[in-house]
Amino acid sequence: MTEKVAPVKTLKGKLVSPPDKSISHRSALFAAISNEKSVIKNYSEAADPQSTLACLRQLGVEIQQQGMEVTIQGAGREGFKKPDEPLDCGNSGTTMRLLAGIVAGAGIECNMIGDDSLSARTMKRIITPLTEMGCKINGRDGTYAPLQIGAHRGIRGMRYPLPIASAQLKSAVLLTGLFGDEPTEVVEHVLSRDHTERLLELNTEPYGTGKIIRSSKADILPAQNYTIPGDFSAAAFWLVAGSIHQDAEIQLENTGMNPSRIAALEVLNQMGANILVVNPRSEGKEPAADLMISPAELKAIDLDPVLVPNCIDELPVLMVAMCFADGTSKITGAEELRHKETDRLSAMAEILKKAGASIEEKDDGMLIHGDPDFSPKPAIYPSWHDHRMAMAAAVLATRASGVSQVEDAECTAISYPDFWAHLKQISR
Ligand code: S3P
């Protein structure tokens, strides 16, 4: 489906952020390896977290779902059954990488498959350390899904310095570590999102600029009863939309505020955004708050590469904000964007060029020559079936001088099924 996006004069209203995708996946996976019954509220109805539930059902985990409330009878570490069909992870890298850590650790014979996008993303980053730990795991050309997972002769714990700042890789190794005869230690030099260690209450210790995280068989997995906060990564589209419009007042209720996820807020604040954080509170084991966004005169920024893993999913829409900022913004150290649902550096370069923005794509980032009076050209934007490309293009198109179109717009359902409805709700 192609979505038409008309220029928007005013963005006003109150929205509730959709449930966090990363936490939804983890809540279900961790409930499944517990021995108890868990009730998770505000579980995401988006396609990716639903892929995680479908795979767990294939592994014999009993799951009841009533809207956004999910009840999971944990199978325990030894309780998964061999699935009859390949585990279909759909478009979801988090499902494939984290669940591989569990099924390979448990030694469940199975295949894992994904859609075309997921089948083109490297799984070598998990195959290498998991194999070193004793797992039987392989992929097409040793790198890609389908993954084949088999029974093993025991899992060895190991000390693993993360070669890339990736929460999915970190989590896969730590989850396999739950099946090890000795403890596993992951050394993280550049911090990435910490939901896994937080939700499993793993032992962590500061280490240089980063930290060490430990997991072992002895880690007791309690029932996971909590409410999932809203998704900061989804909220980021409104943080930028409200900041680049001259007449805007957006109230975002219930947004996750985990410090390892909110660098985009710091970046926007450094750019001069007007974002108020109100009513800070805890939601389950995670911090949350409400956000109020008003228009701002944005200035360019030289983004600190250390912040990149903390705002990796928000970078595409931050690039949109940078187009409206005074001066040249610089993003470096963001090569990981090329390994997402699509190559997000080249996709964003194409989107921004179509809009007439002055940008220079680099191997690991982008230079964006911003202009506070930038008026994007109405255009037909491809989305490459990538939810974040579609939503970033839509935010850009709200400032265009005419009607734009976003192709394959239904892909927003991967993380934010109500995105288009929410955009209409606050647009005048
Ligand atoms: C995620 C980690 C990030 C992020 C993805 C979700 C997670 O991926 O881009 O959307 O839930 O752990 P990487 O770990 O590959 O950086």
Residues 102 and 238 in one domain: no
Compute the distance between CA of residue 311 and CA of residue 297 in angstroms, rounded to an integer. 21
**pTM for the whole structure:** 0.98
Residues 337 and 363 in one domain: yes
Domain that holds residue 361: 3-18+230-426
Residues 32 and 166 in one domain: yes
Compute the distance between CA of residue 351 and CA of residue 411 in angstroms, rounded to an integer. 16
Looking at the structure of the chain, the number of domains it has is: 2
Compute the distance between CA of residue 257 and CA of residue 232 in angstroms, rounded to an integer. 7
Q: Which of 163, 191, 216 is the last residue of a domain?
A: 216
Spacing, Cα 371 to ligand 1 middle (Å): 31
CATH number at residue 186: 3.65.10.10
Compute the distance between CA of residue 82 and CA of residue 396 in angstroms, rounded to an integer. 46
Residue 150 belongs to a domain: yes
Spacing, Cα 168 to ligand 1 middle (Å): 5
Residues 280 and 204 in one domain: no
Residues 91 and 127 in one domain: yes
Residues 239 and 319 in one domain: yes
Q: Which atom of ligand 1 is nearest to the CA of 313?
A: 9
Please list, in sequence order, all residues whose beta carbon lies within 8 angstroms of the beta carbon of residue 115, skipping any fewer than 6 positions away. 90, 91
Residues 7 and 41 in one domain: no
Please list, in sequence order, all residues whose beta carbon lies within 8 angstroms of the beta carbon of residue 325, skipping any fewer than 6 positions away. 271, 298, 299, 300, 301, 368, 370, 372
Residues 420 and 406 in one domain: yes
Active site residues: 313
Residues 327 and 206 in one domain: no
Residues 308 and 420 in one domain: yes
Residues 237 and 212 in one domain: no
Residues 315 and 191 in one domain: no
Residues touching ligand 1 (Cβ under 6 Å) are: 22, 94, 166-168, 171, 193, 312-313, 336
Spacing, Cα 93 to ligand 1 middle (Å): 8
What is the full per-residue pLDDT of the chain (428 aa) written as tens digits? 999 999 999 999 999 999 999 999 999 999 999 999 999 999 999 999 999 999 999 999 999 999 999 999 999 999 999 999 999 999 999 999 999 999 999 999 999 999 999 999 999 999 999 999 999 999 999 999 999 999 999 999 999 999 999 999 999 999 999 999 999 999 999 999 999 999 999 999 999 999 999 999 988 778 889 999 999 999 999 999 999 999 999 999 999 999 999 999 999 999 999 999 999 999 989 999 999 999 999 999 999 999 999 999 999 999 999 999 999 999 999 999 999 999 999 999 999 999 999 999 999 999 999 999 999 999 999 999 999 999 999 999 999 999 999 999 999 999 999 999 999 999 99
